Amino acid sequence: MERMQRDGEVDHVEQPGPLTEKEKVMIQDSWAKVFQSCDDAGVAILVRFFVNFPSSKQFFKDFKHMEEPEEMQQSVQLRKHAHRVMTALNTLVESLDNADRVASVLKSVGRAHALRHNVDPKYFKILSGVILEVLGEAFTEIITAEVASAWTKLLANMCCGIAAVYKEAGWTELSSSVE
């Protein structure tokens, strides 16, 4: 989904085509198994995200000072945010056949992060990579190469949708730099 360039820059995610019916089924089937441990998976995703990309913590006053993964894992606020992230993903996965619902979720998430939290949209691309990495490691029997490819396409579509919301919200330059 992302291609690293020199000096740590990330190419913008290009809009992939729509998901095929087969890809939707693979995503939904794999998600049904992941969602059984969604809170733990969400915490693992956010901890990896914050450890590997510490500048992303600047947007979280309740846990931006945390350095140790163990402390992050125990944070009630981090757990709550992880639950919100996984709930949003769940809504997207459950709504793959409802373009209006998907657009509504992306608009809500994008506007909140652009306008209220002032989060650079690059973090959605980074988080997408972390999601794929953590789910692939934690659910090796479920996230096969073919399933990972479908998830990559879904998350790229999500990033493009959120980037469009940022643009509508008045962000004039979408950053492409990564730490």
pLDDT at 13: 57
- Whether the pLDDT of residue 137 is over 80: the answer is yes
Asked if residue 173 belongs to a domain, the reply is no
Burial of 131 (0-12, 13-18, 19+ CB in 10 A): buried
pLDDT at 8: 39
CA separation for the pair 65, 77 (Å, rounded):
13
Asked if residue 127 belongs to a domain, the reply is yes
Q: Which residue has the higher pLDDT, 70 or 174?
A: 70
Domain carrying residue 51: 18-168
Burial 103-117 (b: 16+ CB within 10 A, else e): eebbbebbeebbeee
CA separation for the pair 159, 13 (Å, rounded):
7
User: What CATH number is associated with residue 65?
Assistant: 1.10.490.10
CB 49, CB 78: distance < 8 Å: no
Q: In the predicted model, what is the mean pLDDT of the chain?
A: 89
pLDDT at 84: 95
Q: Residue 178: which pLDDT band, with cuts at 50, 70 and 90?
A: very low
Asked if residue 120 belongs to a domain, the reply is yes
Asked if residue 48 belongs to a domain, the reply is yes
Asked if residue 84 belongs to a domain, the reply is yes
Q: How many CB atoms lie within 10 A of CB 169?
A: 14
pLDDT at 15: 76
> Which whole number is the average pLDDT over 52-62?
93
Query: For the chain, how many structural domains are there in total?
Result: 1
Pick from 71, 83, 70, 69: which is nearest to 40 by CA?
83
